[in-house]
Amino acid sequence: MIFHSPAKLNLYLHIKQKYQDGFHEIDSIFVRINLYDEITISDAPGPDIRRNGDLSYLKKDDLCYKAALALKQKSDCNFGCSVTLKKRIPIGAGLGGGSSNAATVLKGLNKLWNLRYTKEELKIIAKEIGADVPFFIEEANCFGTGIGENLIVIRDSEFLPKYYVILTPNIKVSTALIFENFQLTKEHLIRPKISEKEKVEILSLQKPFFTFGCNDLESTVVSLFPEISRYLQSMKNIAEKFGIPVESCRMSGSVYHFLGFPTKKKRL
């Protein structure tokens, strides 16, 4: 069986507090985009999990392997499998590629092994692998809170941007490094909370996504990697040229993707 494993974007990202375990509470909109890795899953003789293709050298640190092992242990089954990954999503780019791969393996093996776990049951397993993994189990655009695992499905995605222009500089930045250097301020703590109902109302009024706010991690990334700022300026210049609000040019997630969001297709 061959599966597409999609990337995601964060249309905004607010950091609300830091928990005692070191994780951060966030508030965001997660959207799936049509940039995919390809994962082939098949039966294999014996009980072993066999990893082939891209990133297989990571062995037990590989998220595809971790997902297969987690499902195998949860179900207490004795099946084996072969998982082959073909990467297209840039690695270390804040697009959720690894989390997406893990979720795709969970869903694929649930089908291959005929385990019949529900979506909610798979999301519980997914959360143990990584905070972003449950989103890819959900298979819908979502509001995300908590550490990213609390999801409210956006039922009508008509009001979200239709097209995305993504610039990925050849600069790898660790998500952990960015969060380690992020300074939580009083401004972050006292920012008014927008309820899920209010968010839905804002979208239904066709307000632009940047009405919700910015990416709180952007200044931290730029301070650590100043050369990134020129890429953002380039995106703003392109946006202005085509009548796209410059506020829509920003990072996604914790890393360095800059996004332009035209509401209809234009040749760039």
Q: Give CA–CA dist 246/244, Å, rounded.
A: 6
> Among residues 54, 132, 199, 236, which one is catalytic?
132
What's 191's DSSP letter? S
Q: Tell me, what amino acid is at 52? A: N
For 205, the token pair is: 């009024």
Q: Give CA–CA dist 81/9, Å, rounded.
A: 30
CA angle 108, 110, 112 (to 5 degrees): 65
Q: Give the helix/strand (H/E) hosting 197.
A: helix 196-204
For 222, the token pair is: 């730029």
Any catalytic annotation for residue 61? no
Any catalytic annotation for residue 132? yes
- Please say whether the beta carbons of 238 and 259 come within 8 A: no
Q: Give CA–CA dist 266/32, Å, rounded.
A: 21
Q: Give CA–CA dist 246/258, Å, rounded.
A: 11
Task: Give the active site residues.
Answer: 8, 132
